[in-house]
Amino acid sequence: MYDAASPSGLRSFAPKGRPLDGKAVLITGATGSFGRRMVRTLLERDEPRKIIIFSRDELKQYEMRAELEELFPKEKIARLRFFLGDVRDRSRLELAFRGVDVVIHAAALKQVPAAEYNPSECIQTNVMGAENVVWACLRNGVQRVIALSTDKACSPINLYGATKLASDKTFVAANNLAGDIGTRFAVVRYGNVAGSRGSVVPLFRRLLTNGATELPITDPRMTRFWITLEQGVDFVLSCLETMRGGEIFVPKIPATTVTALAEAMGPGLPHRVVGIRPGEKLHEMMISADDSRTTVDLGDRYAIEPDFVEYGRTGFSEDGVGVRVPEGFAYTSDGAGDTLDTGGMAELLEAARA
C-alpha cells in the first residue's frame, strides 16, 4: 500500500506520461464524485483539447461549472463542454461522441438497496446504457474507452453487481466488434472510494457532526477494499496508457474492517450492530478463483485478460510485461495483501480529504 515517493504515503497509480494531451475527452456521469475529480485533475495537470461533461442533471452541471470557474482561468474553462444527456439515449450519445478521442464511462446507478427495489431502472442505465456507449463509440470511431466497474461485479449477489458484470462483459466483448475501426475498450474495477458520496464515510461524518454518541455498523467482521478519489483518477489515466483492449484492471489497494473504519472516524465511540443489508456481502472480491486462469500480475495492479480474442492483441505475459497468477488465486478484502488497522485507515481518510 505504502509508497515513499507519494506525498500521502499511499500507493501512487499516477500515469508515466500525459495520455490525454491534445485529446477530446468525454466523461459520462461526469458530475459525480469521480467525474468532478477527473475534470479537475485534467485541467490542473494535462492539456486535453476538449473535455465534454456528459450527464443528465442540469443543476449539477451548473454547480460544477460555477465551481470550476472559480478555480481555473478562462482559457482552461474554454475547453469544457457541458452536454446534457442520458446514457439510455443512444442517439444523444452518438451526437455527443462526434470527434471524441477518449471516452471514460462513469455513469451508473450504484445504490444497492435502490437497485433491488427498482431493478428495471438499474438495468436500463447500467446494462442498456453500456450497450449504447459501445455503439456510439463504434459509430464515431472513438480511439480508447475505459469503463468504471466495481468489486460488486465479481461473483455478484445483488442486482447492482449483476448489472455491472453484464456491463463489464459488454465492454470486453466490444473489442471483437471494432474491426477496422480500431476502437479499444477496457474496464477498471475497484472498491469503495473514500470521500465519494456513495460511501459510508459521508454518513459517519454527518452523524458525528450532529453529535452522535454511537456509530452503526453492519457486522464487526465485515471487510471492504478502499481507494481514494485521487488514486482512482490516476488509476484510470495509467490504465489508458497501458490498455491493449479487453482487460479488466484491478488495483492493489488496502482493505479494512468496518470496525477499524468506525474507530478511525469516531475514536472511543461505541458501535451499534445493525446487520447486513439485503444484497450485501460480508467480504468483497475483485478477482475470483475462476478468473485466475486469465489474470496477470502487473506489479501495482492485476489485469484479467480476455479469453476470447478476435483482434490483434498480445497478452501481458506473452511479452514479459506481466506474470500469470497461480491457478486458484482470489483477491478478496479479507485476504488482501494490505490490511489497514485503525491508524492506517485514519491516514487514508486524511489523504482522501486532502
Beta strands in 5-163 (DSSP E): 24-28, 50-55, 80-84, 102-105, 144-148
Catalytic residue, chosen from 16, 60, 74, 152, is: 152
Place of cell 457541458: 82
Is the CA virtual torsion 34, 40, 44, 48 positive or negative? positive
CA–CA gap between residue 44 and residue 18 (Å, rounded): 12
CA–CA gap between residue 172 and residue 246 (Å, rounded): 4
- Which grid coordinates belong to 158? 445483488
Global pTM value: 0.94
| CB within 8 Å of 75: residues ≥ 6 apart | none
CA–CA gap between residue 226 and residue 224 (Å, rounded): 6
Beta bridge partner(s), residue 339? 255
Q: What is the pLDDT along the chain (354 residues), one digit of tens a residue?
A: 445 344 345 789 999 999 999 999 999 999 999 999 999 999 999 999 999 999 999 999 999 999 999 999 999 999 999 999 999 999 999 999 999 999 999 999 999 989 999 999 999 999 999 999 999 999 999 999 999 999 999 999 999 999 999 999 999 999 999 999 999 999 999 988 986 776 788 889 999 999 999 999 999 999 999 999 999 999 999 999 999 999 999 999 999 999 999 999 999 999 999 998 888 899 999 999 999 999 999 999 999 999 989 999 999 999 999 999 999 999 999 987 788 899 999 999 888 887
What angle is formed at CA 300 by the lines to CA 298 and CA 303, rounded to 5 degrees?
Answer: 40
Beta bridge partner(s), residue 27? 53, 104
- What domains does the chain contain, in order, with CATH numbers? 24-191+228-252+286-331 (3.40.50.720)
DSSP 8-state assignment for residue 30: T
CA–CA gap between residue 37 and residue 41 (Å, rounded): 6
User: Alpha helices, DSSP H only, in 111-268?
Assistant: 112-117, 119-123, 129-140, 159-174, 200-209, 229-242, 258-265
Place of cell 457532526: 209
Q: Is residue 164 annotated as a catalytic residue, yes or no? A: no
